[in-house]
Amino acid sequence: MPTDETENIYTNPALLKKDMSDRHGVMMAEPGIITDRSLPGLKRAAPPFYFMVLSFVIWGRALFGYGFVLLGDMVFTPAMYPSGSMLGPPRGLMSVTLVFNIVHVFSRVLSGMLVQKIILFLTVFLAGLLMYYWVPCKTAWGKLFAGTLYIVNPFIYVRLLMGHWGFVLGYALIPVVIRHVQRVLDEPNPANASRCGLWLGVVAVISSHCGVMAVIIALLMWFFNIFTAGNRRKRAVYFVAALLIFTLLSSFWILPAFQSEGLESAIDRSDLEAFQTQSTSAAGVGVSVLGMYGFWKNKLDPLLPRSGLPLWPAFTAIFAALSIIGLVFNWRNGETGAVAKVMLAVFIIGFFLSLGSRAPLTGGLFGYLFDHFPVIKMFREPQKFTALIALSYSVLGALGLEKLLMPAKRDDPRAGIVRTGAFILVILLVFAYSYRMLGGLWGEAKPVKYPGSWSEARKLLDNDRGDFKVLFLPPYWYMRFDFEQGDRTVASPLPYYFSQPGIPLFRVDVGRFKLNEQSTDRYVRSALREAENNSNLGALLAPLNVKYIIFARSDGSEYLEYVLDQNDLKVVKQWPDLVLLENKADAPHLSLAFDRGTYRSWAEVGRVAGDGVLLGSYLEEGEKTYIPERSGLPLREGSSSTNKIEFRFPDTIPPEAAAPGETWLLLGEPYDKKWSLNGASPLEQLGVTCAFQIDSSVKGNQVIEYKNGSLAAGYIISLASLLVSISLVMLGTLKHRHGKVKYEEQPEPEDNG
């Protein structure tokens, strides 16, 4: 005899439909409604095929041509050497460092060129397809509209043009996060909470900005679901658990980032002013944001689609009208009402946050949050929040379009042709509104080859097995290179092309603003200024452990040509576009100093630097400049890594080097108080590197270590959380499968007919 459960299944059509979906992975469709999962195999392959073709159309020959695509911040190289280490001093967010280290690994296996092309393809393909699969529409029309508009819009066009591939990949995964948040709210259990937390963590690692926006969306979904029937407490508990899992998984980058010397000190109001949302027309900033425009860099205006569309606000009005229709007709819908309400809230929040401090009502609040909350400082460019507007248009617009195209009960066959034509027209409007995305971003995305000179210079440097650093000149974050065949600046690929560590330079020039400037930036620029008159750049760079200089000839390098004629630099080899120079002055990573001096300014240091005097004494800032005329004693290193340096303290000191008084160990690394020798933290040498005072206990083999408690704790917490989350997901999966097997073993109901 059948159990009560099977009787319910076979007598209740709704339960039967759900059971068939669970057992066979098929979504049972209502009459007249075609859903993706009920289609035959060929038709089920249509959406992936459509978005694959769309990716090809958008990227064009950038995907198929031989070479690298250089766009704004997106610069890939053959091996993509990461500029930061997972163990050494953080250089920016550790999540970004992790992503670049992963890209480096894949670049060594597949080649950097292939890795970049895969990433380019996925930015479009995943965004469209994942939105197609998630959006709560019953027809393919609504789903295709949502997936197309989600990726084909002015906001994403500008992000791709600026090379923000990490941001776009994170944006592409937001529909997956929404789906898993909904699963937690519908079926609150440990496995679903873990899946949700894991996906939030993945999105935040790929793009911290998208991670924050995903959390905002999740909070709104929870808020609008607390008013529905069901176990509110249980849903709240597992929703909070998902957010907690996400936070713990992200500890490895959150803890180091929000220290006092992290984001909070590197970003201030000048960043917010430099990157404030801009108007793209006389209509004003608000209208620009509604149209998914407003990027801060006005130099891009000639490349924007609106430059060829005088009536571009009309397109915005169409998308807004579709969204309003979708909102109105789904507001009280039991299946899609909560989604519609969430998307309205997402739209409103996205609009005001996109305006940043310029918002008429919330600008003051945004400025206050920016000043006092480090997480908001990540959005020094507030226009990134326009991603929420694009999301809202895609979802609500799809629901509205579906409502307009829904067939009537007694439908004229010719009306189907009209609806199909209307759908095609709307899709064409989407492409027309962002027409410059097509054909390789309208020709802006094109593959280029790195010059042979770069490869030759890299081989020469690889032949030197010493422990040294390279200074890449000019010292700009963004530059123009002749080989890129364009007139726009891109992030310098030099640090990612060469395997040797470079001097970390962070300064970004945005108009009159000099942003992110650190002590190494200021010292290097001071050294360059003083060397123009004193011809002693090698001596000035010796404290930074700089043995080689890579000088790239470009539009911005003319004023630095004097670097090639310095007395203490030797030209190793030069090409028409590149020059490799070697420092004649000793530039050891470690050296002993036996005297003490002071300096008043780096300018005065530049006038007396030479003959190794900057390595012969511990130099601290003072009221006058006094630098003893003596050299230091270079030390030979043993096994070293980015966070550990082994060396042997000499048993005897040469008489000419020894002197009564204090002894100092100078380390050619940018100053960071987390370096440690025998438990002692360093002092600032010249205001830019590290110095340890040596006492009689320092003998024999020694180790200098980089000890970042926040980073170490973050790794432990993140790893433990990852293991626990994966375990919960696996247990939940096994439990679900066991339940299915147990059910399928139930006897078939007897036929009493």
| Secondary structure in 3-state letters for 667-693 | ECCCCCCCEEECCECCEEECCCEEEEE
Computed over every residue of the chain, the mean pLDDT equals 89
The string of pLDDT tens digits covering residues 19-38 is 444 433 333 333 334 444 44
CB 688 within 8 A of CB 670: yes
Residue 637 pairs with which residues in a beta bridge?
A: 647
The string of pLDDT tens digits covering residues 229-278 is 678 889 999 999 999 999 999 999 999 887 756 545 678 889 999 999 99
* All residues at 6 or more sequence positions from 167 whose CB lies less than 8 Å from its CB, including other chains: 159, 207, 209, 210, 384
The string of pLDDT tens digits covering residues 459-470 is 999 999 889 999
Q: How confident is the model at residue 77 (pLDDT cuts 50, 70, 90)?
A: very high
Q: How many residues does the chain have?
A: 753
Per-residue model confidence (pLDDT) at position 352 = 95
Per-residue model confidence (pLDDT) at position 658 = 58
User: What value does the mean pLDDT take over residues 612-630?
Assistant: 93
| Backbone torsion region of residue 122, taken as left when φ is above 0, otherwise alpha when ψ lies between -120 and 50, otherwise beta | alpha
Local structure of 508: helix, strand or coil: strand
CB 285 within 8 A of CB 360: no
Q: Cβ-count burial of 142 within 10 angstroms (0-12 exposed, 13-18 middle, 19+ buried)?
A: buried
The string of pLDDT tens digits covering residues 152-162 is 999 999 999 99
User: What value does the mean pLDDT take over residues 288-310?
Assistant: 93
**Torsions phi, psi of 106, nearest 5?**
-65, -30
Is 545's pLDDT higher than 90?
A: yes
Is 656's pLDDT higher than 80?
A: no
**Torsions phi, psi of 289, nearest 5?**
-65, -40
Per-residue model confidence (pLDDT) at position 611 = 86
pTM (two decimals) = 0.91
CA distance 481 to 4: 74
Per-residue model confidence (pLDDT) at position 664 = 93
The string of pLDDT tens digits covering residues 382-438 is 999 999 999 999 999 999 999 999 876 666 777 788 889 999 999 999 999 999 999
Q: What's the gap between Cα 609 and its chain centre? A: 40
Give me the amino acid identity at 627.
I
CA distance 434 to 141: 20
